[in-house]
Structure 1
Amino acid sequence: MSTSSGAASPPSAGGSHAPGTAVHDGKLTIDLRHPPTRADLGYPAGQNFVAYQAGFATANGAPIATTLILPTGTLHIPAYNISADGGNPLINDDPDHRRPPVDLVVTRTFGKLSDAQASVAADAPTLGIPVAPSATYQSGTDYSAVHDWLSVTVTMQAPAADGHVDVQYAFNFGIYHNPARDRIEHDGVVSIDLTRLPTRDDLAMLPTYPSTDLNPEPGKTLSVHLKLPAGTIQRQVTEVTSTSESKTVADPRGIGQPLRTSFTTTATTMDQLKANLLADAAALGLSPQEIQNGFNGNPGQNYGATLQGHSTAVYDVDVSFGGKVGPGNLNSATYNFMYRR
């Protein structure tokens, strides 16, 4: 199993590796007590992705002796594959390759399921994931924890035909907490003022990214609080998305001003969804009668509509909702604000 120790080792020498490699003599050490840099992970020049595989980064197919220094201790993992990226490498954005790493994924192979379960159980306190007897860790289940800017997810794959099991240790940087997001989100509530045109900072849009998705932390809820010219709205949401791109505007460097913000409410009953929309109608400039009409339908039939709200000097707005009529059906609405730039 991998081994843990409560005392953290000295930090790795960030930036000391030649571009394109962070593995030396079959060993890799990453200090995750702070967000790692491109140099820490050995990003090649002109690339936002790097990967190391046993047998290529090591001799004789030996695993990569990986040391991960966490705020809670140190893990030693014999990994067969390690990857890190700064976003989707298949999308043509960030052409200057300035984007910092957003994740580190370390994969290890165990001979059998019980060995994988025992190792995850032993490392759970250091990883910060829920501690449980080894036998309760199940294949295909994500075990996650958020430690400020660092979030961790451990997943065991189903046993292969020969019984071996792959375990993936994923570390994400700045997903649920970063300086930009922490400026506008407090206690699970994202506050946005749309009485004026919002800036990238107002919407927690990170440099080099044309879009930003704010999602709730695992096991927690997220709400958006909107200040509008005609009132305020606060709704629990599944995500808040802002973008500086449109069908006619590209922003590959992630420097443009926001063009749209959208959010989708958490699913609820048809009656509650209708009540929420009627409560928000005045602030959005929606017609209560059109909302009522959008919920017409017989049991088992689909209902819904896309309604235009009142335009302001800051935005145009529409709200889409729909679902199936009948008890037990949970439905949501999507609010779209298009900025008038």
Structure 2
Amino acid sequence: MTAHTIRRIPLSVALPAPFRGGVVAIGNFDGVHRGHQAVLDCALDKARALGVPALVLTFEPHPRQLFRPDVPLFRITPAPMRARLLGAMGFGAVVEQPFDRDFSCLPAEEFVARILVADLGIAHVVTGYDFHFGKDRQGTPQFLIEAGERLGFGVSRVEAFCDEGADAVSSSRIRSLLAEGDVAAAAGLLGYRYTVEAEIAHGQKLGRTLGFPTANMALPEGTDLAHGIYAVRLRRENGALHDGVASFGRRPTVTENGAPLLETYLFDFSGDLYGETACVSFFGFLRGEEKFDGLDALVARMRQDEAEARALLAGVRPLSPLDAAIAFAG
């Protein structure tokens, strides 16, 4: 599996002709975790069998942001990262349906007739076992099956995917693990290393004066990753990979109540990364964020963090083809 460019298409514009008549997987797919991948793999298999395009239909913003705007939502994979993962899996396009009050009131029958049939011209649709849609969640997988029989498209319903402990894999479980800093356990549920994407920006450049220049990235608001130090791998826009150690947090030794920032020190690298959009994959949690008594103590601990991260990263292997496409050389 190799990553390739995927088309992100807002459903406010007409779907390009080459994507009509395809197999469509429907869902929010926040995390694109192993449970989601069961649905997505089913859609890819069906598209190959029918010889038609494979697409994903999802919703932007996440419906919870509309219905509960006062509750911050930690999105495991914001739309650009989700699209990157879907492209790596082999989808040609992700159709992003604008989700607003008017759309939330759309009756289930109209969703099928207008969105699936008229706008997308689907041949087949794939959903999870618990997918609901339309006003008051009227639409169910069984509703889709009956509509498909009338309107001429097929439907596949994928049952819940459970991990090795027989527990259902869910985005909420993964969010909880990431909030604890347990990126290794989260990777087991995701099927790949948790990865963030952002532009590298100028910082205070204190790390440079200490001998640890960092690539600084502001993560999306609501990112509830535990503050601390991680062994990571950064992928540049040109595909080059660099191992490193990263701090995510408020930098208590050098600033008072700073905004959360991801600062990544790359091993054996010198160069200018400013302005690039990079991906950082998290392989292991080394320690929590600490406040040190001065810069000398901070530097000594950073040297220890570097040694531990190098040792951890020396033995890593891909968890899956998707992990290989995102966090390893292709």
The two structures share one fold, judged by TM-score above 0.5: no
Higher relative contact order (CA 8 A, sep 6+): 2
TM-score range, shorter chain: under 0.3
Structure richer in helix, relative to its length: 2
- Give TM-score, length-normalised by structure 2: 0.25
The structure with the larger Rg is: 1
- Give TM-score, length-normalised by structure 1: 0.25
Structure richer in strand, relative to its length: 1
